[in-house]
Amino acid sequence: MTAPGKPFTLNDLRTAATTKQRVAMLTCYDFTTATILESAGVPMLLVGDSASNVILGHRSTIPITLDLIMQLTAAVKRGAPRTLVMGDMPFGSYQASDAQGIENVCRMLKETNCDCVKLEAGASLVPMFARLADAGIAAVAHIGLRPQAVGLMGGYRYQGRTAAEARAIVDLAVQFSRAGAAALMLEAVPPEVGQRVVERVNIPVIGCGAGPHCHAHVVVLQDLLRHTSTQPRFVPQPSGSSLIEIARNYVTEISSGTYPQLAHCYQMVDGESRKFLSEQL
Ligand code: KIV
């Protein structure tokens, strides 16, 4: 996908998306693991706010602070200098105003050396994405299931179950693409929604349980390794006996199209898939 030793960049992700090569991404939260994942050939790492769960032991992603996520992001980038590292903007670091968000995104980029940032994004964030793009900042809009909105959602439920819900997700994706988002992260939606989003936007779509049509796929490393007590249905079976082997096999499963399979996908409510797919593009 990229020559050994050459950094994997956003342009490589864009090229992969247009040439239909599938790209692997894993979460990572520390220097040592980052060195191993880079050696395994994982081209993209997300320093996700899921660190709140899997590193700190909280029940949600809400408590983790910007300062801590920045420290972890800087460590991962030091360990994986040739890997595209995405810093996750935690809850409370961008919701107050566009000014707060832009200031904190700039801190994340300047102080961690990460390559891009990710923000969980509802419609009110579209103008902020336009301003970030105008400032030359690569920002990824995380839509679909948004774990930072767990309070309002009343739990972690996959999204886009009905034609109306699915349409709303696709419309939002189009708005962020038009506003200049660098990519989309689409979490926990049926594959029909993943497919429509890919068809409707002209930026890379990174799926996290969003079906086989997405250009790239990410899972939480601790879920892949079965270090967590339960895993979402879209997490593949690990294969291999060491971290480097499991990571290499994960990359191969994605690039060969073996992952994700139907068994990893969420389903729309009966009758809703046909209704959604019959709608005009
Ligand atoms: O924080 C995280 O781990 C995420 C997922 C989409 C992988 O945002």
**Residues 165, 180, 185, 71: is their CA dihedral positive or negative?**
negative
Give the pLDDT confidence of 183-235 residue by residue, as tens digits.
999 999 999 999 999 999 999 999 999 999 999 999 999 999 999 999 999 99
The predicted pLDDT at position 96 comes to 97
Pocket test for ligand 1, best of 187, 222, 234 (most atoms within 8 A of CB): 187
- 180 within 8 A of 133, measured Cβ to Cβ: yes
Mean pLDDT along residues 237-263: 98
Q: What are the catalytic residues?
A: 187
User: How far apart are the CA of 280 and the centre of ligand 1, in A?
Assistant: 31
The predicted pLDDT at position 186 comes to 98
CATH node for 10-278: 3.20.20.60
Ligand 1 atom 2: residue of nearest CA: 48
Taking the CA of residue 51 as reference, the ligand 1 atom at the shortest distance is 1
Ligand 1 atom 5: residue of nearest CA: 48
For the chain, give the mean pLDDT.
97
Q: 9-29 as b/e, with b when 16 or more CB fall inside 10 Å?
A: bbebbbebbeeebbbbbbbbb
Beta-carbon-side half-sphere exposure of residue 199 (alpha carbons within 13 Å): 11
Which residue shows structure tokens 């920045």? Answer: 70
Give the pLDDT confidence of 69-98 residue by residue, as tens digits.
999 999 999 999 999 999 999 999 999 999
What token pair was written down for 116? 């891009």
Q: Of all helices (H) and strands (E), which one includes residue 219?
A: strand 216-219
From the list 228, 216, 121, 212, the residue with the least C-alpha distance to 169 is 121
What proportions of the chain, in percent to the nearest 5, are helix, strand and coil? 45, 15, 40
pTM: 0.97
Cα–Cα dist 120/147, whole Å: 8
Give the pLDDT confidence of 19-52 residue by residue, as tens digits.
999 999 999 999 999 999 999 999 999 999 999 9
From the list 175, 198, 189, 206, the residue with the least C-alpha distance to 84 is 206
User: How far apart are the CA of 220 and the centre of ligand 1, in A?
Assistant: 7
User: How far apart are the CA of 147 and the centre of ligand 1, in A?
Assistant: 8
